[in-house]
Amino acid sequence: MTSHREATEPRLSDYDEKNVGIEQIDGLPAPTTSTRPATPRRHFQVARRFILFSLLTFLALNQFTKLLSGGVSSSDTSFYNDQTEVGGYWRGVATKGLRYAVPRFDTANIGGEHHHDHDRHHHGHEHRHLPGHTSIPPKVAEKIFLDVPNNQSVSEALRRYTSYAHPAGSGWDFVSAVNLKNEWEQALGLRSSGPEEHLYDAGSHESQQRIKGGMDKMGVWIDTYYPVMNKPVHASVTLLTDPPFHAKLREDILPGDEDSQLRDEVPVFHGLSVSGDVSGKYVYAGYGRKQDFDLLQEKGIDFTGKIVLVKYGACFRGLKIKAAQEAGAVGVIIFTDPEEDGESTEENGYKPYPEGPARQPSSVQRGSVQFISKYPGDPSTPGEPAYKNATRLEGGNQPSIPSLPMSYEDVIPLLKALEGKGIHAGDLGKDWVGGLGFHGVDYFVGPSEADLHLVNDVNTRVIPIWNTMAVIPGHITDEVVIFGNHRDAWVLGASDPNSGTASQYEIVRGLGALLKKGWKPLRTIVLASWDAEEYGLIGSTEWAEDFGEWLQENAVVYLNMDSSASGSNFHASASPSLANLLKSAAQQVESSLDSSRSVYSTKYDAGSWEAWQLEKAGSLTGDYDVWAAEKGSGVGPLGSGSDFTPFLQRFGIASSDMGYGGGPKDPVYHYHSIYDSFTWQQKYGDVGFHRHTDAAKVMGLVLLRAADSIILPLNTTQYGQDLAYYLEKVEDIAKDSKLESKIDLSSLSKAIDSVRGASTNLDIERHAALEKLRELLPRPGHLKGSFFGNIHSWCNAEAHKDKALASMQVWDDSKEQVEESALVAPPQLPHLPRLPSPGKVKDIKAVLKEIRGINKKLQYFESGFLSEKGIKDREWYRHKGTAPGLWLGYGATTFPALTEAFTIDHDPALAQKEAEELTDLISKMAQRLSA
């Protein structure tokens, strides 16, 4: 763990090249004002001044000659015109301090965790700017970056983003896209463009060229896609008793939360629900999981023609409706039960929001009911981008029966009307009894005596959405690091997603600060503000489907941040190859709430949901992976539910997700409610906005390390260890299913062993390559500027003061520049370092070519899990290593096709077939690592 002060406050005298130069100039004798007769000393001073004048004249003439020749010397031209596959690596190493650009210790960490030598990174003498040119080695870049994110700035950004409702496809959503475009332009040092500038239709020449031909030019733009979505028109729920009960279906305006006045900006409804007007008896079905419906049907409950009441929790809301319609139901109401609120309940003596941390009784959870485990994105264009003129299909991932969300305040009369009817919920298990006993509810299954009338009227149509995008060009343009957050919210979104949007803005400001100092990343960075995530990951999925081939060739990692702060517990999930990178960054950033602790150590500050549920109900109702915390890296696998999904599970890009979430001891987070507001965030969610800032620092370090490390910080050895665990879980499932004797997994086990062995060997290769490169690159002492060189640097310091972005070309929408970008002469860096001899440069490039080969193996490792046929019955998902569980939606199922052959199909022959395909995929991955 690094001291926050030391990690964020570099000594300018150590790291500023102008100070280095001035110190050496100040070593000259001070001028004299004596009027005494000439002496030998005076003659010496005259001679010294003459020499200095001659030198300055020479330098001026030299600069004038360079200007006449276009500003690029022959050595510079050779440096920039190297178009070999390692040219970008060489330019990156040379301009990041040569040997300073290479870590002292092996970041591959043979067979273990990923360790950055963080203390040395921030304290050692090797981290100074190099004399004579603008050099920002990776660890110095981290110091500069960490000094930027701060609580005041992030809170102001969140206030801006949550001052109006901005659901996907609304006018305010478009305003938020344009505003963010301008904010990013300003932060990155670009001209602020107008609302119609750099605004492209997806599929247009401009949009396509911006990605496929524009990775070498900085800029910010907006891509417009055209998915099918719905907007609420009218909703009602009436219990047909005498007198009838009419559900309010509306959240309250609260005196202590002025933001709640915007409650009607997004009425209570479900995204991608269907219109319907249905009546019938109703039944309570617990969490509404597939197994809950199966259990009730075994007990004799007939769902045909009935409306079902189910609690939020345990699985994705859309899959509750899928299970209900498959059971024969005609409508579904999903209600929020305080059982899911942990310790902060009225039953435990806490007042409801805003007077206290307990749930506001009228709070409603909006949300999409898309069948996300079948496929995400636009329902009408599965596997294809939703262009304006797209050919559309009937959506296959939406419900066919209407549904509505409901507050616990509204559902209490409905549950009370079931009392004494049918099976007592407690007879079915502890998790069937909710938390409304304090309000006089005794949970029964029913069916009811009275009918329930449900109306859901929505307008479903093609609606435009807007992804705001940015590129920061690196020295290498075919290795791209992508960092995304979604911007759209169900109402105000102070936690989901705009805490993440505000943290992302702090990261963009940090990158801008680096750019203004002359930094350029080794790899190209793409920033994304996705739209319509709330409807079903639409903005990210359509973009990924649009550029899928480009992604598979060029993307090295996708880093995701959805909500950065909704509680006290730090959490992270990732591809196993990224797990230790996230973990080490979180261990090295100091918690701004407690300087004696790291961010990573706050994982259970508000308690563990797993432990809380086990104590309360005796079993886990959610999608928790306890092993990841107990045995593995501490970073769990990815399922779905956020924008990493298309990158990882369709295109095989190593991905991650992180932020702070709530624990059972935290104030209740009003998810997808009007009360997910700035007021709640300021008063209960993240008092002081410390976690917003800490999340920005952790993600910023991960981003910088992915972009600037000579060898990609992807740990395939950790991946191999996790694959062994995945197999262990499958073996336990086979044993529990009594199918253990009917399947042979020995070949799969051998394939996993071969990956582990190949990865260990690759670790040795990468370590050796780094050591070889360090030996070839000049030592720090060899790069000290000469007397004349330092004079030259000092004289030119002011000239380059305002030209820190000189190494960046900026995108121009003019047709000529788009088509003729290859003809534009490469720009000159402010200060080119004195390079090694041509012979040594040749040797260095040979090692860099070797490193390039290692990086390509690491980059494409994840895609080895992709199956052309995809997963059975949901072919959009192609990753055979991890996917959202078919009946979980958000939660990860590892070795999904193999696992579900046991748990869902109960078919040993299918399981054997899936095991053989996994064996083939993993064996080929081992071969590629060893090639």
Partners of 788 in the β-ladder: none
Contact 664, 672 (CB under 8 A): no
The count of other CB atoms within 10 Å of the CB of residue 424 is: 15
Alpha carbon 499 to chain centroid, angstroms: 13
> Which residue of the set 170, 879, 900, 914 is catalytic?
879
Alpha carbon 370 to chain centroid, angstroms: 22
Comparing CA positions, the residue from 221, 365, 152 lying closest to residue 811 is 221
The amino acid present at 142, given as its one-letter code, is E
Contact 705, 699 (CB under 8 A): no
Helix ranges (DSSP H) in 709-837: 716-736, 746-776, 787-797, 815-819
* Spatial separation of the C-alpha atoms in residues 479 and 469, rounded to whole Å: 17
The count of other CB atoms within 10 Å of the CB of residue 80 is: 18
For 613-637, give the DSSP string. Answer: HHHHHSS--S---HHHHHTS-S-BP
Q: Which string of b and e fits 214-237 if b means at least 16 CB within 10 Å?
A: bbbbbbbbbbbbbbbbbbbeebeb
Partners of 283 in the β-ladder: 308
598 catalytic? Reply is no
Tokens 């510079």 locate to: 76
Contacts of 57 (CB under 8 A, 6+ apart): none
746 catalytic? Reply is yes
123 catalytic? Reply is no
The DSSP output letter for 345 is S
* Spatial separation of the C-alpha atoms in residues 672 and 489, rounded to whole Å: 8
> Which residue of the set 339, 506, 533, 765 is catalytic?
533
> Which residue of the set 596, 741, 746, 814 is catalytic?
746
The count of other CB atoms within 10 Å of the CB of residue 287 is: 23
* Spatial separation of the C-alpha atoms in residues 112 and 9, rounded to whole Å: 31
* Spatial separation of the C-alpha atoms in residues 650 and 540, rounded to whole Å: 12
For 143-208, give the DSSP string. Answer: HHHHTS--HHHHHHHHHHHTSS---TTSHHHHHHHHHHHHHHHHHTTPPPPPTTTTEEETTSHHHH
Comparing CA positions, the residue from 198, 159, 169, 168 lying closest to residue 181 is 198
Report, as residue numbers or ranges, the catalytic residues: 533, 746, 879
